Structure 1
Amino acid sequence: MKQNKTFPRFFAIFLLLLAILFIIIIYTFYNAKGISYFSDASEACNNCHVMNEVYDDYLKGPHAQKVKGEPRATCNDCHLPHNFISKWIAKAESGVGHAYAFTFKLNDLPPNLNATQKSKEMIQNNCMSCHTDMASHAINATMKKGANEPLRCVSCHVGVGHKQGM
Protein backbone atom coordinates (compact mmCIF):
# COMPACT_ATOMS: atom_id res chain seq x y z
CA MET A 1 0.00 0.00 0.00
CA LYS A 2 1.11 3.45 -0.89
CA GLN A 3 1.28 6.04 1.90
CA ASN A 4 -0.51 9.35 1.54
CA LYS A 5 2.25 12.00 1.68
CA THR A 6 -0.11 14.96 1.27
CA PHE A 7 -1.14 15.11 4.93
CA PRO A 8 2.41 15.17 6.38
CA ARG A 9 3.43 17.90 3.88
CA PHE A 10 0.34 19.92 4.68
CA PHE A 11 1.01 19.52 8.41
CA ALA A 12 4.67 20.53 7.99
CA ILE A 13 3.69 23.64 6.01
CA PHE A 14 1.07 24.47 8.65
CA LEU A 15 3.67 24.13 11.44
CA LEU A 16 6.15 26.28 9.50
CA LEU A 17 3.55 29.02 8.97
CA LEU A 18 2.56 28.81 12.62
CA ALA A 19 6.21 29.16 13.68
CA ILE A 20 6.67 32.18 11.38
CA LEU A 21 3.52 33.78 12.79
CA PHE A 22 4.74 33.12 16.34
CA ILE A 23 8.13 34.71 15.55
CA ILE A 24 6.40 37.78 14.05
CA ILE A 25 4.19 38.12 17.14
CA ILE A 26 7.16 37.81 19.51
CA TYR A 27 9.21 40.31 17.46
CA THR A 28 6.30 42.79 17.38
CA PHE A 29 5.65 42.40 21.11
CA TYR A 30 9.36 42.96 21.84
CA ASN A 31 9.67 45.89 19.42
CA ALA A 32 6.51 47.56 20.83
CA LYS A 33 7.82 47.18 24.41
CA GLY A 34 4.86 44.91 25.15
CA ILE A 35 6.00 43.98 28.66
CA SER A 36 5.69 47.63 29.72
CA TYR A 37 1.93 47.49 29.17
CA PHE A 38 1.57 45.10 32.10
CA SER A 39 2.68 47.89 34.45
CA ASP A 40 0.81 50.93 35.71
CA ALA A 41 3.60 53.26 34.59
CA SER A 42 2.37 56.17 32.47
CA GLU A 43 5.58 55.95 30.44
CA ALA A 44 4.16 52.83 28.80
CA CYS A 45 1.38 54.92 27.27
CA ASN A 46 4.03 57.02 25.56
CA ASN A 47 5.58 54.07 23.69
CA CYS A 48 3.75 55.22 20.54
CA HIS A 49 4.82 58.52 19.02
CA VAL A 50 1.18 59.61 18.58
CA MET A 51 1.01 59.92 22.36
CA ASN A 52 3.99 62.28 22.73
CA GLU A 53 1.92 65.47 22.95
CA VAL A 54 -0.66 63.92 25.28
CA TYR A 55 2.09 62.53 27.52
CA ASP A 56 3.88 65.90 27.62
CA ASP A 57 0.58 67.54 28.66
CA TYR A 58 0.14 64.91 31.38
CA LEU A 59 3.66 65.61 32.72
CA LYS A 60 2.82 69.33 33.03
CA GLY A 61 -0.50 68.67 34.78
CA PRO A 62 -1.35 68.17 38.45
CA HIS A 63 -1.84 64.39 38.23
CA ALA A 64 1.81 63.81 37.28
CA GLN A 65 3.13 65.73 40.29
CA LYS A 66 4.96 63.34 42.56
CA VAL A 67 3.93 62.61 46.12
CA LYS A 68 6.36 60.39 48.02
CA GLY A 69 8.09 59.59 44.72
CA GLU A 70 4.93 58.46 42.92
CA PRO A 71 2.67 60.47 40.59
CA ARG A 72 -0.68 61.50 42.06
CA ALA A 73 -2.38 59.56 39.28
CA THR A 74 -1.16 57.48 36.37
CA CYS A 75 -2.83 57.13 32.98
CA ASN A 76 -4.33 53.86 34.21
CA ASP A 77 -5.78 55.54 37.31
CA CYS A 78 -7.89 57.80 35.08
CA HIS A 79 -8.47 55.68 31.97
CA LEU A 80 -9.12 52.20 33.43
CA PRO A 81 -11.55 50.83 36.02
CA HIS A 82 -10.12 50.42 39.50
CA ASN A 83 -11.60 46.93 40.03
CA PHE A 84 -8.83 44.35 39.39
CA ILE A 85 -10.69 42.13 36.92
CA SER A 86 -12.44 44.98 35.08
CA LYS A 87 -9.12 46.81 34.81
CA TRP A 88 -7.37 43.90 33.13
CA ILE A 89 -10.30 43.22 30.80
CA ALA A 90 -10.36 46.89 29.75
CA LYS A 91 -6.56 46.91 29.41
CA ALA A 92 -6.70 43.82 27.16
CA GLU A 93 -9.51 45.27 25.02
CA SER A 94 -7.63 48.53 24.65
CA GLY A 95 -4.34 46.78 23.91
CA VAL A 96 -5.80 44.55 21.23
CA GLY A 97 -7.64 47.51 19.69
CA HIS A 98 -4.52 49.67 19.66
CA ALA A 99 -2.37 46.84 18.31
CA TYR A 100 -4.84 46.23 15.50
CA ALA A 101 -5.12 49.93 14.63
CA PHE A 102 -1.36 50.53 14.70
CA THR A 103 -0.73 47.40 12.63
CA PHE A 104 -3.50 47.45 10.04
CA LYS A 105 -4.96 50.97 10.05
CA LEU A 106 -1.86 53.12 10.41
CA ASN A 107 -2.83 55.39 7.51
CA ASP A 108 -6.31 55.95 8.99
CA LEU A 109 -5.21 57.06 12.47
CA PRO A 110 -6.36 60.52 13.51
CA PRO A 111 -3.69 63.10 14.46
CA ASN A 112 -5.09 63.12 18.01
CA LEU A 113 -6.69 60.14 19.66
CA ASN A 114 -10.09 60.73 21.24
CA ALA A 115 -11.72 58.91 24.11
CA THR A 116 -14.52 56.52 23.21
CA GLN A 117 -17.88 56.74 24.97
CA LYS A 118 -16.83 53.81 27.14
CA SER A 119 -13.57 55.60 28.03
CA LYS A 120 -15.42 58.81 28.86
CA GLU A 121 -17.63 56.90 31.28
CA MET A 122 -14.61 55.24 32.93
CA ILE A 123 -12.84 58.60 33.24
CA GLN A 124 -15.93 60.24 34.77
CA ASN A 125 -16.34 57.36 37.25
CA ASN A 126 -12.68 57.61 38.19
CA CYS A 127 -12.88 61.39 38.68
CA MET A 128 -15.83 60.89 41.00
CA SER A 129 -14.14 57.99 42.80
CA CYS A 130 -10.91 59.87 43.53
CA HIS A 131 -12.49 63.26 44.19
CA THR A 132 -15.65 62.22 46.06
CA ASP A 133 -14.93 64.59 48.92
CA MET A 134 -14.87 67.60 46.59
CA ALA A 135 -17.44 66.39 44.07
CA SER A 136 -20.07 65.72 46.74
CA HIS A 137 -20.03 69.43 47.67
CA ALA A 138 -20.05 70.75 44.11
CA ILE A 139 -23.07 72.38 42.57
CA ASN A 140 -24.77 69.78 40.44
CA ALA A 141 -24.89 71.60 37.12
CA THR A 142 -25.61 68.41 35.25
CA MET A 143 -27.20 69.92 32.19
CA LYS A 144 -26.17 72.81 30.00
CA LYS A 145 -29.10 74.71 28.54
CA GLY A 146 -30.08 72.89 25.34
CA ALA A 147 -27.59 70.05 25.91
CA ASN A 148 -28.54 66.43 25.42
CA GLU A 149 -26.23 64.94 28.01
CA PRO A 150 -25.02 65.75 31.53
CA LEU A 151 -21.85 67.69 32.14
CA ARG A 152 -18.76 65.69 32.92
CA CYS A 153 -15.94 66.73 35.23
CA VAL A 154 -13.81 67.53 32.18
CA SER A 155 -16.52 69.86 30.89
CA CYS A 156 -15.20 72.44 33.37
CA HIS A 157 -11.81 70.96 34.24
CA VAL A 158 -10.50 70.87 30.67
CA GLY A 159 -6.85 69.87 30.38
CA VAL A 160 -6.49 68.49 33.91
CA GLY A 161 -5.08 65.21 32.64
CA HIS A 162 -4.08 66.39 29.18
CA LYS A 163 -5.39 68.83 26.60
CA GLN A 164 -6.42 66.49 23.77
CA GLY A 165 -8.65 63.53 23.50
CA MET A 166 -11.90 64.28 25.29
Structure 2
Amino acid sequence: MRKKAILFSLLVLIIGALVGGGFFIFYNANGLSYLSSDSAACNNCHVMHEVYDDYNKSSHKAVARCIDCHLPHTFFRKWVAKAESGLGHMMVFTFEKNLPTHFEANEKTKKWVQENCISCHKDYVENITNPTLKAQHQDQSLSCVSCHKNVGHKRNY
Protein backbone atom coordinates (compact mmCIF):
# COMPACT_ATOMS: atom_id res chain seq x y z
CA MET A 1 0.00 0.00 0.00
CA ARG A 2 2.82 2.40 0.88
CA LYS A 3 4.51 1.67 -2.46
CA LYS A 4 1.31 2.62 -4.31
CA ALA A 5 1.10 5.89 -2.39
CA ILE A 6 4.68 6.74 -3.29
CA LEU A 7 4.11 5.90 -6.98
CA PHE A 8 0.90 7.92 -7.00
CA SER A 9 2.68 10.88 -5.36
CA LEU A 10 5.47 10.68 -7.96
CA LEU A 11 2.94 10.53 -10.77
CA VAL A 12 1.10 13.56 -9.42
CA LEU A 13 4.41 15.41 -9.02
CA ILE A 14 5.52 14.58 -12.59
CA ILE A 15 2.16 15.53 -14.09
CA GLY A 16 2.12 18.73 -12.01
CA ALA A 17 5.63 19.63 -13.18
CA LEU A 18 4.72 18.99 -16.83
CA VAL A 19 1.46 20.95 -16.66
CA GLY A 20 3.05 23.74 -14.62
CA GLY A 21 6.06 23.88 -16.94
CA GLY A 22 3.75 23.92 -19.94
CA PHE A 23 1.75 26.83 -18.53
CA PHE A 24 4.97 28.68 -17.65
CA ILE A 25 6.35 28.24 -21.17
CA PHE A 26 2.99 29.15 -22.77
CA TYR A 27 2.81 32.30 -20.61
CA ASN A 28 6.41 33.38 -21.32
CA ALA A 29 6.02 32.65 -25.04
CA ASN A 30 2.93 34.88 -25.09
CA GLY A 31 0.97 31.83 -26.27
CA LEU A 32 -2.46 33.46 -26.24
CA SER A 33 -1.30 35.98 -28.84
CA TYR A 34 -1.08 33.18 -31.41
CA LEU A 35 -4.82 32.66 -31.09
CA SER A 36 -5.41 36.23 -32.29
CA SER A 37 -5.22 37.73 -35.75
CA ASP A 38 -2.79 40.43 -34.60
CA SER A 39 0.31 40.69 -36.78
CA ALA A 40 2.36 41.53 -33.70
CA ALA A 41 2.06 37.86 -32.68
CA CYS A 42 4.28 36.99 -35.63
CA ASN A 43 6.95 39.21 -34.12
CA ASN A 44 7.15 37.07 -30.96
CA CYS A 45 9.89 35.04 -32.66
CA HIS A 46 13.21 36.86 -32.95
CA VAL A 47 13.68 35.53 -36.48
CA MET A 48 10.63 37.54 -37.56
CA HIS A 49 11.80 40.98 -36.36
CA GLU A 50 13.20 42.03 -39.75
CA VAL A 51 10.14 40.78 -41.64
CA TYR A 52 7.78 42.46 -39.16
CA ASP A 53 9.71 45.72 -39.49
CA ASP A 54 9.42 45.50 -43.30
CA TYR A 55 5.70 44.75 -42.99
CA ASN A 56 5.20 47.84 -40.80
CA LYS A 57 6.76 49.98 -43.56
CA SER A 58 4.81 48.33 -46.38
CA SER A 59 1.79 49.50 -48.31
CA HIS A 60 -0.14 46.44 -47.12
CA LYS A 61 0.05 47.29 -43.40
CA ALA A 62 -2.97 49.58 -43.70
CA VAL A 63 -5.12 46.93 -45.41
CA ALA A 64 -3.87 43.47 -44.41
CA ARG A 65 -2.60 41.52 -41.44
CA CYS A 66 0.00 38.76 -41.74
CA ILE A 67 -2.69 36.08 -41.63
CA ASP A 68 -4.59 37.74 -44.49
CA CYS A 69 -1.74 36.82 -46.82
CA HIS A 70 -0.14 33.78 -45.20
CA LEU A 71 -3.13 31.68 -44.11
CA PRO A 72 -6.24 30.34 -45.80
CA HIS A 73 -9.35 32.45 -45.28
CA THR A 74 -11.86 29.72 -44.48
CA PHE A 75 -12.39 29.12 -40.77
CA PHE A 76 -11.39 25.46 -40.56
CA ARG A 77 -8.40 25.66 -42.95
CA LYS A 78 -7.10 28.77 -41.16
CA TRP A 79 -7.08 27.15 -37.71
CA VAL A 80 -5.57 23.91 -38.97
CA ALA A 81 -2.85 25.94 -40.71
CA LYS A 82 -2.19 28.01 -37.57
CA ALA A 83 -1.84 24.81 -35.52
CA GLU A 84 0.46 23.14 -38.07
CA SER A 85 2.61 26.23 -38.38
CA GLY A 86 2.82 26.85 -34.65
CA LEU A 87 3.67 23.26 -33.80
CA GLY A 88 6.22 23.12 -36.60
CA HIS A 89 7.94 26.29 -35.41
CA MET A 90 7.84 25.11 -31.81
CA MET A 91 9.45 21.78 -32.76
CA VAL A 92 12.24 23.52 -34.69
CA PHE A 93 13.03 25.98 -31.92
CA THR A 94 12.83 23.32 -29.23
CA PHE A 95 14.69 20.41 -30.80
CA GLU A 96 16.91 21.67 -33.63
CA LYS A 97 20.58 22.24 -32.88
CA ASN A 98 21.13 24.76 -35.67
CA LEU A 99 18.37 27.29 -35.28
CA PRO A 100 17.20 29.02 -38.44
CA THR A 101 17.98 32.70 -38.86
CA HIS A 102 14.72 33.15 -40.77
CA PHE A 103 11.77 31.16 -42.04
CA GLU A 104 11.19 30.24 -45.66
CA ALA A 105 7.69 29.73 -47.02
CA ASN A 106 6.85 26.15 -47.85
CA GLU A 107 4.83 25.15 -50.91
CA LYS A 108 1.56 25.20 -48.97
CA THR A 109 2.17 28.76 -47.77
CA LYS A 110 3.16 29.90 -51.26
CA LYS A 111 -0.13 28.50 -52.57
CA TRP A 112 -2.10 30.35 -49.88
CA VAL A 113 -0.29 33.61 -50.63
CA GLN A 114 -1.16 33.27 -54.31
CA GLU A 115 -4.80 32.44 -53.51
CA ASN A 116 -5.03 35.41 -51.16
CA CYS A 117 -3.44 37.85 -53.62
CA ILE A 118 -6.00 36.84 -56.21
CA SER A 119 -8.85 36.97 -53.70
CA CYS A 120 -8.04 40.50 -52.51
CA HIS A 121 -7.11 41.89 -55.92
CA LYS A 122 -9.76 40.08 -57.95
CA ASP A 123 -10.90 43.25 -59.76
CA TYR A 124 -7.39 43.83 -61.08
CA VAL A 125 -6.36 40.29 -61.91
CA GLU A 126 -9.51 38.63 -63.21
CA ASN A 127 -8.33 39.11 -66.79
CA ILE A 128 -5.06 37.37 -65.96
CA THR A 129 -6.39 34.55 -63.80
CA ASN A 130 -9.36 32.60 -65.04
CA PRO A 131 -11.00 30.66 -62.21
CA THR A 132 -13.28 28.85 -64.68
CA LEU A 133 -10.37 26.91 -66.14
CA LYS A 134 -9.40 23.54 -64.72
CA ALA A 135 -6.13 23.50 -62.80
CA GLN A 136 -4.28 21.63 -65.56
CA HIS A 137 -5.14 24.43 -68.01
CA GLN A 138 -3.99 27.27 -65.76
CA ASP A 139 -0.59 28.81 -66.40
CA GLN A 140 1.24 28.24 -63.11
CA SER A 141 4.58 29.61 -64.29
CA LEU A 142 4.10 32.97 -62.60
CA SER A 143 2.83 33.92 -59.20
CA CYS A 144 1.91 37.37 -58.00
CA VAL A 145 5.03 37.59 -55.84
CA SER A 146 7.32 36.66 -58.71
CA CYS A 147 6.91 40.29 -59.83
CA HIS A 148 5.71 41.91 -56.60
CA LYS A 149 8.38 40.43 -54.31
CA ASN A 150 8.60 43.12 -51.66
CA VAL A 151 4.98 44.24 -51.43
CA GLY A 152 4.23 42.93 -47.92
CA HIS A 153 7.80 42.50 -46.77
CA LYS A 154 11.18 41.50 -48.10
CA ARG A 155 12.58 37.99 -48.15
CA ASN A 156 10.17 36.13 -50.44
CA TYR A 157 6.89 35.44 -48.68
Alignment TM-score > 0.5, same fold: yes
- Give the residue type in structure 2 aligned to 1:159: N
Structure 1 equivalent of residue 11 of structure 2:
14
Structure 1 equivalent of residue 53 of structure 2:
56
The CA distance in 1 between the partners of 2:125 and 2:3, in whole Å, is: 69
Where do 1:117-136 residues align within 5 Å? Answer: 117-136=107-126
The CA distance in 2 between the partners of 1:165 and 1:12, in whole Å, is: 52
- Give the residue type in structure 1 aligned to 2:118: M
Structure 1 equivalent of residue 30 of structure 2:
33
- Give the residue type in structure 2 aligned to 1:79: H
Q: 8 Å contact 2:29–2:44 — kept in the other structure? A: yes
Aligned to 1:108, the other structure's residue is in SS state: coil
What's the C-alpha RMSD, in Å, of the aligned pairs? 1.8
Structure 2 equivalent of residue 69 of structure 1:
none
The CA distance in 1 between the partners of 2:88 and 2:3, in whole Å, is: 38
Structure 1 equivalent of residue 94 of structure 2:
103
The CA distance in 1 between the partners of 2:21 and 2:129, in whole Å, is: 54
Structure 1 equivalent of residue 133 of structure 2:
none
Taking a change above 3 Å as real, the CA distance of residues 96 and 139 of structure 1, as seen in their structure-2 partners, is: closer
Aligned to 2:51, the other structure's residue is in SS state: helix
The CA distance in 2 between the partners of 1:57 and 1:93, in whole Å, is: 25
1:11, distance to aligned residue in structure 2 (A): 2.3
Q: Greater CA radius of gyration, 1 or 2?
A: 1
Q: 8 Å contact 2:150–2:156 — kept in the other structure? A: no
Task: Extract unaligned runs of 5+ from structure 2.
Answer: 131-137
Taking a change above 3 Å as real, the CA distance of residues 18 and 165 of structure 1, as seen in their structure-2 partners, is: farther
Structure 2 equivalent of residue 152 of structure 1:
143
TM-score by length of 2: 0.87
1:122, distance to aligned residue in structure 2 (A): 1.0
4+ runs deviating over 4 angstroms: none
The CA distance in 2 between the partners of 1:45 and 1:163, in whole Å, is: 15
Q: How many residues align?
A: 150
TM-score by length of 1: 0.83
